[in-house]
Amino acid sequence: MDIFTLALFTGAYAIAVLVPGPGVAAVVARALGGGFRGAVPMVLGILVGDLVYFVFAVFGLAAIATWFGPVFVVVRWAGAAYLLYIAWKFWTARPGAEQIRPRDESAWKTFLAGFSLTMGNPKTIVFYLGILPTVIPLDRMTPLAFAELTVIVVVVLLLIGLGYAWLAARARELFSSPRALGRLNKTASVVMASAAGLVVWQH
C-alpha cells in the first residue's frame, strides 16, 4: 500500500486511540491502582479487541457485526460490570508499600476486561466499521497491505496504551505513604467506575 495511505491511516488511528474514552480511563485507573505491570494485560486485551474489529472491517464483516449487535450489547454490560468490580476492589484495598495490584486479580481477568471493553466500545465500532473504509481502499486489500496495517495497529496502540499506563504508574510512584496510596486507590476506583459508566452510556 502506498506511503500516503499508510500515513493517513496511522494518523487517523493514532488520534482515535489518543482521544480519552473508556479504554484510556480503564488503563489509567489500572495503572494508578496496580502499577505499570498491572495495566499491561488490559492494554493487550484492548489490542486484541481492536484487531478483531480490524479483521471484521477488512474482510467485509461489518454487516455481520451489525447483525450481532445484541451480542455486543451483552458484552458491553458484562465488561462494565467487571470494571465496577475492579473499582470496588480498589476502593476496599488496604494500601501499603507492598501492594502492586488488588488481591485476587489475575492478569487473565484483566486481559478479558480490556477485551470486552473494546468489543463493547462504540468509539471502536465507529472507527473500524465506519471511518476505516473511508481511509483505506478495502476493495484493493492485499496480503501485504493487510500485514502493514496490522503492524500499524499493533505498534500505535501499544505505544499509546502503554504510554498512558507508564505515565499513570509514574504518578503512583510519587506517593509512598499508605495514606497517599489509599487516596490513589480511591482515585483509581472512581476513574474505573467512570470508565464503566462510559461503556454503558456511550451509543
Helices 178-201 and 69-92: crossing angle in degrees, nearest 10, is: 160
Diameter of the chain measured on Cα atoms? 58
For residue 201, the tally of other CB atoms under 10 A from its CB is 10
Long-range contacts of 181-187 (CB under 8 A, 24+ apart): 181/95, 181/96, 181/97, 181/99, 182/95, 184/32, 184/33, 184/95, 185/32, 185/33, 185/90, 185/91, 185/93, 185/95, 186/90, 186/91, 187/32
Walk along the chain (203 residues) and give the pLDDT tens digit of each residue: 789 889 988 988 888 888 777 788 888 888 877 788 889 999 999 999 999 989 888 876 555 555 555 655 665 566 667 667 666 766 776 654 334 444 446 788 889 888 988 887 767 777 777 777 777 887 778 889 899 999 999 999 999 999 999 988 887 766 555 565 566 666 666 766 766 665 556 54
Measuring CA to CA, how many Å separate 83 from each of 41, 77, 87, 151, 180? 14, 10, 6, 29, 23
Contacts of 9 (CB under 8 A, 6+ apart): 132, 135, 136, 149, 152
Total domains present in the chain: 1
The domain containing residue 84 runs over which residues? 3-13+21-201
